[in-house]
A = this chain, B = another copy of it.
């Protein structure tokens, strides 16, 4: 009985170690998920990883990378909306059409994520497009 309990305990410990390794060894997850979240919440990055480990099962940890790719594009798009004032110009004042805003947001995200342009430079491209539209050039 005791032996079975020990085997169970060892299994849990090994499983936890595996989960920690899966998450810690992934540079993309560190750079794109854990570090940004630790900065946003102003808590230690190790605590962020612990929270993910506590909340996610093993399969979800393996799938995290795929989710993170989606999240990176999605959350960056929302940041672009704020940084370029698209939230105001498109959604609330209707000075830019929704389709135009979608294209501009996509362009900035792609320039940064796919073409590795620094965020500020990608943003500047989006800014130019918006100003052109507003000036009706």
Contacts and interface: CB of A to CB of B under 8 A. Distances in A.
A107 to B, nearest CB: 16
A87 B67 contact: no
Contacts of A82: 75, 78-79, 82
Interface of A: 33, 36-37, 40-43, 51-52, 55, 64, 67-68, 70-71, 74-75, 78-79, 81-85, 87-89, 91-93, 95, 127, 130-131, 134-135
16 contacts: A37-B85, A37-B89, A40-B85, A40-B88, A40-B127, A41-B130, A41-B134, A51-B134, A52-B95, A55-B134, A64-B93, A67-B93, A71-B91, A71-B92, A74-B87, A74-B92
